[in-house]
Chains A and B, each alone.
Chain A
Amino acid sequence: MNPTTNKLRSKVGASAGLLLDRQARAQAEASVQTLAPEAFVSCERRVQEICDVLEGLPDRALRDAFALAHEIRGVAGTFGWNALGEIADCLCLYLDDFPEGGRANVPLLQSLAGALKAALRSQGDADLVLALSAECRAMVRVIREREGRSPDLL
Chain B
Amino acid sequence: MSLRALDVLVADDDGLTRSIVSDILRASGLGKVWQAASGDEAFLALSYRRPDIVILDLNMPGDGASTLRRIRRSPESPDPHVAVIAMTAYSDLRRIELLRDAGASEVVAKPLSVASLHARLTAVIDRPRPFIVSSAYVGPERRRRAPSADCPRRRLADAHAADTLEVS
Chain A residues within 8 Å of B, Cβ to Cβ: 1-9, 11-17, 19-20, 24-25, 27-32, 34-35, 38-39, 42, 70-71, 73-78, 85
Nearest CB of chain A from residue B49's CB, rounded to whole Å: 15
Instruction: Report Cα–Cα, A74/B165, bound state, in Å.
Output: 37
Kindly identify, within residues 25 to 77 of chain B, every residue whose CB is under 8 Å from any CB belonging to chain A.
26-29, 52-53
Inter-chain contact B23/A4, CB cutoff 8 Å = no
Contact with A along B97-112 (1 / 0, CB 8 A): 0000000000000111
Instruction: Report Cα–Cα, A12/B5, bound state, in Å.
Output: 6
Chain B residue numbers with a CB within 8 Å of A2 are 130, 165, 167
Chain A residue numbers with a CB within 8 Å of B19 are 35, 38
* Count of chain B residues near A, Cβ 8 A: 39
Instruction: Report Cα–Cα, A31/B17, bound state, in Å.
Output: 14
Chain A residue numbers with a CB within 8 Å of B129 are 4
Inter-chain contact A32/B110, CB cutoff 8 Å = no
Inter-chain contact A76/B115, CB cutoff 8 Å = no
- The verdict on B149 contacting chain A, using a C-beta distance below 8 Å, is no
Nearest CB of chain A from residue B130's CB, rounded to whole Å: 5
Instruction: Report Cα–Cα, A11/B111, bound state, in Å.
Output: 30
Instruction: Report Cα–Cα, A34/B20, bound state, in Å.
Output: 10
Instruction: Report Cα–Cα, A73/B88, bound state, in Å.
Output: 12
Known: A19-B3, A74-B17, A78-B113. A9 touches B125 (CB 8 A): yes
Inter-chain contact B17/A75, CB cutoff 8 Å = yes
B13, closest chain A residue (CB): A71
Instruction: Report Cα–Cα, A29/B52, bound state, in Å.
Output: 23
